[in-house]
Structure 1
Amino acid sequence: MLKVNQLTKTYDKIKAVDNISFHVKDGEIAVLLGPNGAGKSTTIKSIAGLLRYDGDIIINDMPNKSIEAKRIFGYVPEAPAVFDMLTIEEHIKYIASAYKMKNYKAKAKTLLEAFDLWDKKDKLGTSLSKGMKQKVSICCALLFEPRVILFDEPMIGLDPKAIKTLKDAFLKLRNSGCTILISTHIIDSVEEVWDRALIMKDGKIVLSRTREELANNNESLEDIFFHVTEGSL
Structure 2
Amino acid sequence: MEEKVLQVTNLTKHYKRKNAVDGISFSLNKGEIVALTGPNGAGKTTTIKCILGLLRKNEGEIFINGTDNKSKDVKYKLAYIPETPDIYPMLTVWEHLKFMALVYKINNWTVVAEKILSKFDIADKKDELAKNLSKGMKQKLSICCALIHNPEIFFVDEPFIGLDPKAVRELKDAFKALKEEGKTILISTHMLDAAENLCDRIIVVKKGRVLAEGSIEDLRHKIKVSQETSLEDIFLEVTEDEK
TM range (shorter): 0.7 to 0.9
Q: 1:230: which partner in 2?
A: 240
What is the CA–CA distance in structure 1 between the aligned matches of 2:140 and 2:27, rounded to whole Å?
Answer: 27
143-152 or 102-111, which moves further after superposition? 102-111
Q: In the alignment, is the contact (CA less than 8 A) between 2:212 and 2:219 conserved in 1?
A: no
Letter in 1 for 2:240: E
Q: Of the candidates 89, 93, 118, which is equivalent to residue 98 of structure 2?
A: 93
Q: Does 1:40 align with 2:44?
A: yes
RMSD: 2.4
Q: 1:153: which partner in 2?
A: 158
* Residue segments in structure 1 that go unaligned for 5+ positions in a row: none
Alpha-carbon distance, 1:145 to partner: 2.8
The TM-score with structure 2 as length reference comes to 0.84
Q: Does 1:66 align with 2:76?
A: no
Q: 2:54: which partner in 1?
A: 50
Q: Of the candidates 161, 165, 168, which is equivalent to residue 170 of structure 2?
A: 165
Pair 1:111–1:166, CA change in 2 (3 A): farther
What is the CA–CA distance in structure 2 between the aligned matches of 1:164 and 1:10, rounded to whole Å?
Answer: 37
The within-5 A match list for 1:90-129 is 90-113=95-118, 115=120, 117-129=122-134
59-68 or 128-137, which moves further after superposition? 128-137
Q: Does 1:142 align with 2:147?
A: yes
Q: In the alignment, is the contact (CA less than 8 A) between 2:82 and 2:157 conserved in 1?
A: yes
Number of equivalenced pairs:
233
What is the CA–CA distance in structure 2 between the aligned matches of 1:111 and 1:128, rounded to whole Å?
Answer: 17
Q: In the alignment, is the contact (CA less than 8 A) between 1:114 and 1:165 conserved in 2?
A: no
What is the CA–CA distance in structure 2 between the aligned matches of 1:66 and 1:201, rounded to whole Å?
Answer: 29
Pair 1:130–1:162, CA change in 2 (3 A): closer
Letter in 1 for 2:144: C
Q: Deviations over 1:19-57 (max 9, x none)?
A: 111101112211101111111111111112111112221
What is the CA–CA distance in structure 1 between the aligned matches of 2:167 and 2:100, rounded to whole Å?
Answer: 21
What is the CA–CA distance in structure 2 between the aligned matches of 1:43 and 1:19, rounded to whole Å?
Answer: 10
SS at match of 1:123: coil
SS at match of 2:27: strand
Q: In the alignment, is the contact (CA less than 8 A) between 2:201 and 2:213 conserved in 1?
A: yes
Q: Of the candidates 178, 202, 205, which is equivalent to residue 183 of structure 2?
A: 178
The TM-score with structure 1 as length reference comes to 0.88
SS at match of 1:43: helix
* Residue segments in structure 2 that go unaligned for 5+ positions in a row: none
Letter in 1 for 2:49: K
140-149 or 153-162, which moves further after superposition? 153-162
Alpha-carbon distance, 1:150 to partner: 0.8
Alpha-carbon distance, 1:141 to partner: 1.3
Q: In the alignment, is the contact (CA less than 8 A) between 1:2 and 1:179 conserved in 2?
A: no
Q: 2:9: which partner in 1?
A: 5
Q: In the alignment, is the contact (CA less than 8 A) between 2:37 and 2:189 conserved in 1?
A: yes
Alpha-carbon distance, 1:15 to partner: 1.0
Q: In the alignment, is the contact (CA less than 8 A) between 1:7 and 1:56 conserved in 2?
A: yes
Pair 1:160–1:113, CA change in 2 (3 A): farther
93-102 or 195-204, which moves further after superposition? 93-102
Q: Which has the higher contact order (CA 8 A, sep 6+)?
A: 1
Q: 2:205: which partner in 1?
A: 200
128-137 or 138-147, which moves further after superposition? 128-137
Alpha-carbon distance, 1:186 to partner: 1.0
Q: 1:31: which partner in 2?
A: 35
Q: 1:80: which partner in 2?
A: 85
Q: In the alignment, is the contact (CA less than 8 A) between 1:30 and 1:182 conserved in 2?
A: yes
> Matched residues, percent identical?
51
205-214 or 88-97, which moves further after superposition? 205-214
